[in-house]
Amino acid sequence: MRRTLALALTMFCMAPAAANEPLEKQFFDYFTQRCEVALEAEWRAADLDPDNPEARQVLGKYCACTSQAVVSFLSAEEIIAFANNPEQEPAAEKMRPHFVQCQERARSKAGSQ
């Protein structure tokens, strides 16, 4: 199973990680980076500043939370499918409530600090 996942990581063109870095950490880092890039682009398109410290804090918390949810609640096969197409079911539906919770947490924590 781990060998299959390692091959999948290579297929996704992920940056090479340390040989002793757990696969879950590699996926977490991959999804966090993709999330941050996507949100930054979305915010810039909406004429929002993702470099604003408060926005950066929300972005970081949201992306870390969603990445943790992906590696916690999806099987290896679902992670691979989700990485290829985040809209693909059943992973998309399975992750939707977690992503909503992450959004609420990121916003509430940023606002309370």
Under-70 pLDDT residues of the chain: 1-19, 109-113
Look at the pTM and tell me if it is higher than 0.85.
no
- The residue range of the domain holding 37 is 2-12+23-112
- Residue 18 included in any domain: no
Domain membership flag for residue 42:
yes
pLDDT in tens, 91-100: 889 999 999 9
- Torsion (CA) 43, 62, 28, 99 in degrees, nearest 10: -100
Look at the chain and report how many structural domains it folds into: 1
Helix boundaries (H) for the chain: 2-11, 23-45, 53-73, 76-84, 91-112
pLDDT value, residue 39: 92
Tell me, yes or no, whether 17 lies in a domain. no
Q: Provide the pLDDT for residue 19.
A: 61
